[in-house]
C-alpha cells in the first residue's frame, strides 16, 4: 500500500512561485505569480492570502497538512489530501488525483485535477497541475481543453 504522504516534502516554502519554463503564469494574468493554494485547489480567501508569508508542510497522522503562516502565527490550516482524493507517493513524487462535480441550472460538469509534487535538487518544491473537465447540458456533452500549470516554490531555510 502506498504512503499517504511523501516525507521529503516536509518543510517551509514561499506562498508564491515562479511558473516553470513553457508554462503559463497565473491563469493568463501575465504579471502575477502562481500561489501554492491555487495550484493545489485549496484556495484561501484574498484576505487570508494577503497575510500569508510562508507555507509549512507537516506530517500529522500520516497525512500532509499545510500551515499557512503570517506575522501573527498560523492563518489557515488545510489538509493536502481530502477524503475522496486518490494519492500515491513513489520515489519522492506525490501524485494527487481529484474529481469534483458541479451542477448549475442548465449545465453539469466534472473536473479532473492531477497534482504532482516533488523536490528539485536545490530543494525547491515543484507543483505541476493538469486540469481536464467535461460539461453536459440536456442536449450536448463536451470536453473543455486541457489546462496544465507548473510552478517552482523556493524552500525557506
Whether 104 is in a domain gets the answer: yes
Residue 2, in any domain of the structure? no
Q: Band the pLDDT of 25: cuts 50, 70, 90.
A: low
In a domain, 121, yes or no: yes
Domain membership of residue 1 (yes or no) is no
Q: What is the pLDDT of residue 4?
A: 58
Report yes or no on 141 lying in a domain: yes
Counted domains in the chain = 1
> Helix, strand, or coil here: 7?
helix
In sequence order, what are the beta bridge partners of 63? Answer: 60
As a whole number, the mean pLDDT across the chain is 86
* 95 lies in some domain: yes
Domain span at 28 = 7-156
Whole-angstrom distance, CA of residue 100 vs CA of residue 72: 34
- DSSP-derived secondary structure letter, 116: E
Q: What is the band of 107 on the pLDDT scale with cuts at 50, 70, 90?
A: confident
What residues are paired with 129 via a beta bridge?
Answer: 115, 149
pTM for this predicted structure: 0.84
Please state the rounded mean pLDDT for residues 60-89: 89
pLDDT band at 28 (very low <50, low <70, confident <90, very high): low
- What pLDDT is recorded for position 2? 41
Sorted by sequence, the CB contacts under 8 Å of residue 142 that are 6+ apart come out as 134, 135, 136
Amino acid at each position: 500500500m502506498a504512503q499517504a504522504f511523501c516525507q521529503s516534502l516536509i518543510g517551509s516554502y514561499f506562498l508564491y512561485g515562479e511558473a516553470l519554463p513553457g508554462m503559463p503564469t497565473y491563469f493568463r494574468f501575465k504579471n502575477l505569480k502562481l500561489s501554492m493554494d491555487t495550484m493545489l485547489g485549496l484556495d484561501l480567501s484574498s484576505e487570508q492570502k494577503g497575510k500569508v508569508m510562508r507555507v509549512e508542510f507537516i506530517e500529522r497522522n500520516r497525512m500532509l497538512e499545510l500551515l499557512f503562516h503570517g506575522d501573527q502565527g498560523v492563518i489557515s490550516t488545510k489538509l493536502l489530501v481530502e477524503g475522496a482524493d486518490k494519492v500515491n507517493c513513489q520515489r519522492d513524487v506525490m501524485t494527487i488525483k481529484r474529481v469534483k462535480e458541479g451542477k448549475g441550472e442548465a449545465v453539469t460538469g466534472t473536473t479532473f485535477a492531477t497534482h504532482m509534487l516533488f523536490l528539485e535538487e536545490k530543494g525547491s518544491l515543484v507543483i505541476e497541475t493538469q486540469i481536464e473537465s467535461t460539461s453536459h447540458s440536456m442536449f450536448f456533452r463536451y470536453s473543455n481543453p486541457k489546462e496544465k500549470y507548473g510552478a517552482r516554490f523556493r524552500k525557506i531555510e
